[in-house]
Amino acid sequence: MAGEGDSEPRKSFKLLGFLDVQSVPCARESVLYGSLGSLVVGLGHFLATSRVRRSCDFAVGGFISTMLGYWFYCRYSLAQQRIRQRMLKEGMKNRILFEGSYLDPEKKQTGNERSDS
């Protein structure tokens, strides 16, 4: 029963016709945080001023600013993570390559090996 639907491809949700929310990293979270920011800003402005139209304007602005703010934060964090992964992968490759040789940083050098270098 549950395995029957797994073979079908998942339907993608496109925001504004071009942003595929399921496949683009950080898009889903950005939209969710943007909607939460919209609710908070719009409701807060309405409770403070009791002006409906102006509160809706503030809600749209809150959505856009929160969504873009979290988008840039998330993409920056993702880029940092990818850089760290690349550096770690390169370090692991170098460790395997240099293990047991005189270039191994963990191998303690004796006095005879130091004079040879």
List, for residues 61-99, the tens digit of each pLDDT value.
999 999 999 999 999 999 999 999 999 998 888 777 777
Which pLDDT band, with edges at 50, 70 and 90, does 1 fall under? very low
Whether 54 maps to a domain, the answer reads yes
Candidates 29, 31, 26; CA nearest to 16 is 31
pLDDT in tens, 4-15: 555 556 666 666
Q: What is the DSSP string of 77-111?
A: HHHHHHHHHHHHHHHHHHHHHHTTSTT-TTSPP-H
Looking at residues 12-30, what average pLDDT do you find? 72
Total number of domains in the chain: 1
Calculate what percentage of the chain has a pLDDT beyond 70: 69
Which of 108, 62, 15 is CA-nearest to residue 23? 15
The per-residue pLDDT for 34 is 94
Q: In the prediction, which pLDDT does 23 show? A: 73
Task: Name the residue range of residue 80's domain.
Answer: 25-98
Per the prediction, the chain carries an average pLDDT of 81
| Per-residue confidence (pLDDT) for residue 9, from 0 to 100 | 63
In angstroms, the first-to-last Cα distance of the chain is 68
